[in-house]
Amino acid sequence: MGTMQWLNHFRSSVRRERHIPWEQGVRLREEIREPVIAAMRIFQRGLTSSGIDLRSKVRQSCSPEYAECIDLYVQEKNVHAELLMKWLWAAGSEPARRYLIDFGFRRFRRRFDWVRELMILLSAEMASMPFFRVLASSVDDPMTRRMLEEILADQAYHLGFHIEHLRHELQKRSRWERLAIQQAWGAFFTATLTAVLTETTEVFDALPYDRLAFWTDAWNLFAQVQTGLTGSQHLAAMLSRDPRLKFAL
């Protein structure tokens, strides 16, 4: 796969009409309504970003085609933020305001080069995917399920895109630097999952999905993506069989 194939994919994807039946409103069971709304506010807040720092760093280091891919990747994440914002309005709520943790996270990731900043963003995406997937299969509201499925479909391509491009960048680095990045990435992913569990604890109390299952599902996905980035070519090729990961063909 080449960068131009990904560029064509993202150009098409950000223009794609997401057919969400907003007019149906949000119809959740009373016992899960407020916990789910609180969780959606957290994810909506996290997805809202112009990504100026990241996009600037990519432009200084990469080809114009890849830089445009990153522009469109950020744009697609903002499409997801817009979907979640409309969902919150349909639920009679509103997006959450930013607070100190958000500013701290943004300042933290901006301290790194573009490769590691993308890996940090990838951590947040991998932590959200099993949560969205279980929520989509657990709620009995067609509109909520449809919205989450749209986001998950896009996220699967995000993982494939980053595996394909970041792998080549990591191969340029020394063995010891790659090892250090892997160790730091694993530690950061642990912290990310812990934060998600802490902020969405009421959802886990309300749904038949325990915290250990979420932790295990998220780590299984992380292991797959880490294999794609740092494992052998043979193992990386096997990833195309995983339905959670999509590649532009």
Please indicate, yes or no, if residue 33 is contained in any of the structural domains: yes
Decide if pLDDT at 235 tops 60: no
CATH code for position 35: 1.20.1260.10
- Residue 230 — very low, low, confident or very high, per pLDDT cuts 50/70/90? confident
Tell me what pLDDT residue 127 has: 94
Confirm whether 246 is domain-assigned: no
Is residue 28 in some structural domain?
yes
* pTM for the structure as a whole: 0.91
In this prediction, residues 125-146 reach a mean pLDDT of 92
d(CA 162, CA 99): 29
Give a yes or no: residue 169 inside a domain: yes
Judge whether 134 lies within some domain. yes
Residue 247 lies in a domain: no
Q: pLDDT band at 103, cuts 50/70/90? A: low
37 and 200 in contact (C-beta within 8 Å)?
no
On whether residue 189 sits in a domain, the answer given is yes
For residues 179 and 155, give the distance between their C-alpha atoms in angstroms, rounded to a whole number: 26
Please count the other Cβ atoms lying within 10 Å of the Cβ belonging to residue 240: 13
Could you give the number of structural domains in the chain? 1
Query: Which residues contact residue 50 at a Cβ distance below 8 angstroms, ignoring those fewer than 6 apart?
Result: 74, 78
- Structural domain boundaries, residue 33: 3-16+23-241
CA distance 46 to 67: 22
Q: What is the pLDDT of residue 207?
A: 84
- Across 18-27, 106-115, 204-213, least confident range: 106-115
Residue 198 lies in a domain: yes
Summarised one tens digit per residue, pLDDT across range 15-71 is: 998 889 888 889 998 889 999 999 999 899 888 888 889 999 999 999 999 999 999
Grade residue 148 by pLDDT with cuts at 50, 70 and 90. very high
Separation of alpha carbons 78 and 51, rounded Å:
10
